[in-house]
Structure 1
Amino acid sequence: MIGIDLIKISRMSRLIERFGEKALLRFLSPLEIMLVKNPKTASGFWAAKEATSKALGVGIGKDCSFEDITIYKTDKGAPKLKLSEKLNTNFHIKDISLSITHDGDYAIAVVAIELHIT
């Protein structure tokens, strides 16, 4: 299953300018916020969480919330995803991969999910 999301970085910049850290707390945990260096990074994280929910086929809502998806980085700085036990169990997830890229005023994320075959 594959999900993709695109966000205009200037949109995230305006949100942060207007609401500060409260804007980030709507979709990121305090630990994730520590990884955010600028609106570009925040935009990539937003796109990653949206792409994850799209790969699951449900979008962000009761079946998959922002809090069910955690972004962290490897020692080399690569972004990775950790899903809640609820998502792993309900969707039978075997593996998940994430790629985030930025170009100009856009951030894009692609998520690929491998399911356990039942």
Structure 2
Amino acid sequence: MILGIGTDLCNIERIEGTLARFGDRFRNRVFTDVEQRKAERRKDTAGTYAKRWAAKEACSKALGTGLRMGIAWKDMAVTNLPSGQPVMHVTGWAADRLKEMTPLGHEAVIHVTLTDDHPWAQAFVVIEARPLAATEVPPQS
């Protein structure tokens, strides 16, 4: 079952300007150390940051909260599997919200896809609830 869907479109040149203007202050406020290391290794540093920015915005929308209801930027982070597939991780308030919206007897799976075509970066996030096997279902209180 689908619990939430979010999308965002981000202008890479806007992120590039923000990086030039605010540098580490922007990077450290919005992106985890892992995300920063990934972006700084890439030729298209601004594009890499822009895709992750879009993913965070899309995730907050899929969680049904936006970024004004307590979720911090770093509560959502994108890493990549060895295959290159992006994966969204949530912590803090975002993880609490995900747990709250996941029905009993289900596990939440966050799907994320990223793309860019200069000057645009785009992300889609779908949050799915998958039924747990009968042996995995926690007892009701």
Residue 82 of structure 1: which of 73, 77, 89 is its match? 89
| Post-superposition offset of 1:21 | 2.1
Give TM-score scaled by structure 2 length.
0.76
> Are the counterparts in 2 of residues 99 and 111 from structure 1 also a CA contact under 8 Å?
yes
Task: Select 1:34's aligned residue among 18, 34, 37.
Answer: 37
Please, which runs of 5 or more residues in structure 1 have no aligned partner? none
Aligned to 2:7: 4
For residue 109 of structure 2, the aligned residue among 71, 89, 95 is 95
What is the Cα deviation at residue 75 of structure 1? Answer: 0.7
Give the superposition deviation at 1:20.
Answer: 1.4
Runs of 4+ in structure 1 off by over 4 angstroms are: none
CA contact (8 A) 2:9 2:120 kept: yes
Overall identity of the aligned pairs, in %? 30
Match of 1:106 among 117, 120, 135: 120
Q: CA deviation digits over 1:22-58, x for unaligned, max 9?
A: 2111211112111113000000000000000001111
Q: Which has the larger radius of gyration?
A: 2
Unaligned runs of 5+ in 2: 132-141
Return the offset for 1:116. Answer: 5.9
Distance 2:101 2:89 in 1: 14
Q: CA RMSD in A?
A: 1.7
